Amino acid sequence: MKNYIIAVTIVVALLLVFAGCGQKQEKADLRKVRVVLDWTPNTNHAGVYVARDLGFYKEQGLDVEIIQPGENTAEKIVALGQAEFGFSYQESVTIARSQGVHVKSLAAVTQHNSSGFASLKEAGITSPKDFSGKRYGSSGWPSELGILKQVMESSKADFDNVEVVHGIADFFTTIGKNADFEWIYYGWDGVQARLKGIDINFIPVRDIDPIFDFYTPVLIASDLMVNSEPELMKKFLAATSSGYELCIKDPARGAEVFSKAVPELDRELVKASLDHLSGEFQADAPRWGQQNPVVWKNFADWMLRKGIITTSVEALAAFTNEFLPDAADPQG
């Protein structure tokens, strides 16, 4: 009996060793790639977490690590080869390219710009005309004040009558105290306000002027990576598309996977946010990720006219639809 027990123990130990070796070998066979976020994790990133944690990347032969940007920007991290992919914004990609930082958008995460101006309902701000004489809380991103000025001028309001308060980062701790209206992304802060029972007025910038319906956020890679590794682009986007498509079709499941990956986020907020974003990720586009060259050109031209960039950017060089699943037309 003693010898039998020893033999069984040895067999079990060997099986565990072989299993561990198999897992290590399997992982070694996967291509390691990094995805850098634009900010701390939020529901805009959910499709990538879903693709990672449900094995969609693994099915494509990829081992994906999700990292945060730290002190550098996602555009520079990707351009320097410190991450193969990243989250960015159409505005940031355009600025980067105008400065010689060669990154390219591979997919639009959401099809339309869901950001805009928000205020407490009690402030009575319902249109850009009402911005006059109020305090605007600025987060400091490059085109923010240019957009604010244009929407006010279009409404015959005087931008000079707005007091700009700089350094605003959190809507809920500053609105109604430090500032009367601020810029938010409805899919996160707007949903959160509803959950908190805070009544707000929200003015989407895309409803004020179609030129501001630009892509935010987007997924990027460097021009070098795009040109040298097209198969990697296709594999990454095939899996990523599957992740976002799951969030579109089953936002509750997407919220479950994302909340498990990022447990520090409020589960109720994650679920409500993905319920909202499930209609925004693809919206009226023929497929998730599709980008329109007119959207890229119009906003880049506007940025050049306003002096936000000083060198023109070729729209078709700033993005591509080529690697999206079932792409028929490279710039379709």
Q: What is the DSSP string of 162-181?
A: SEEEE----HHHHBTTTBSE
Mean pLDDT score, 242-269: 98
pLDDT given for residue 70 in this prediction: 86
In 3-state terms, what secondary structure has residue 159? helix
CA 284 centroid distance within chain: 18
Task: Select from 60, 82, 61, 62 the least CA-distant residue to 73.
Answer: 82
Mean pLDDT score, 278-300: 97
pLDDT given for residue 19 in this prediction: 52
How far apart, in whole angstroms, are the C-alpha atoms of residue 164 and residue 62? 46
How far apart, in whole angstroms, are the C-alpha atoms of residue 126 and residue 201? 6
pLDDT given for residue 82 in this prediction: 97
User: What are the helix (H) ranges across the chain?
Assistant: 2-28, 46-53, 56-59, 74-79, 90-98, 144-154, 171-174, 191-196, 205-208, 223-228, 230-249, 251-261, 267-277, 293-305, 315-318
Residues linked to residue 185 through DSSP beta bridges, in sequence order:
115
CA 271 centroid distance within chain: 17
Q: Which residue has the tokens 């009558």?
A: 161
Q: Does pLDDT of 246 surpass 50? A: yes
Q: Do residues 84 and 163 make contact, with C-beta atoms less than 8 angstroms apart?
A: no
Q: Does pLDDT of 330 surpass 50? A: no
Task: Select from 205, 236, 204, 202 the least CA-distant residue to 219.
Answer: 236
Q: Does pLDDT of 26 surpass 60? A: no
Residues 304-325: pLDDT tens digits?
999 999 999 999 999 999 999 9
pLDDT given for residue 20 in this prediction: 57
Q: Please, which pLDDT band fits residue 332 given cuts at 50, 70 and 90?
A: very low
Question: What are residue 125's phi and psi, to 5 degrees?
Answer: -95, 105
pLDDT given for residue 27 in this prediction: 60
Mean pLDDT score, 231-238: 98
Q: Please, which pLDDT band fits residue 3 given cuts at 50, 70 and 90?
A: low
How far apart, in whole angstroms, are the C-alpha atoms of residue 110 and residue 278? 9
**Size (the chain), residues:** 332
Mean pLDDT score, 13-36: 67
Share of the chain above pLDDT 90, in %: 86
Mean pLDDT score, 286-300: 97
pTM of structure: 0.89
How far apart, in whole angstroms, are the C-alpha atoms of residue 51 and residue 31? 15
Q: Which residue has the tokens 């085109």?
A: 143
pLDDT given for residue 177 in this prediction: 96
Domains of the chain: 27-111+215-318 (3.40.190.10), 115-212 (3.40.190.10)
pLDDT given for residue 135 in this prediction: 98
Mean pLDDT score, 82-106: 97
Q: Does pLDDT of 7 surpass 90? A: no
Higher pLDDT, 174 or 16: 174
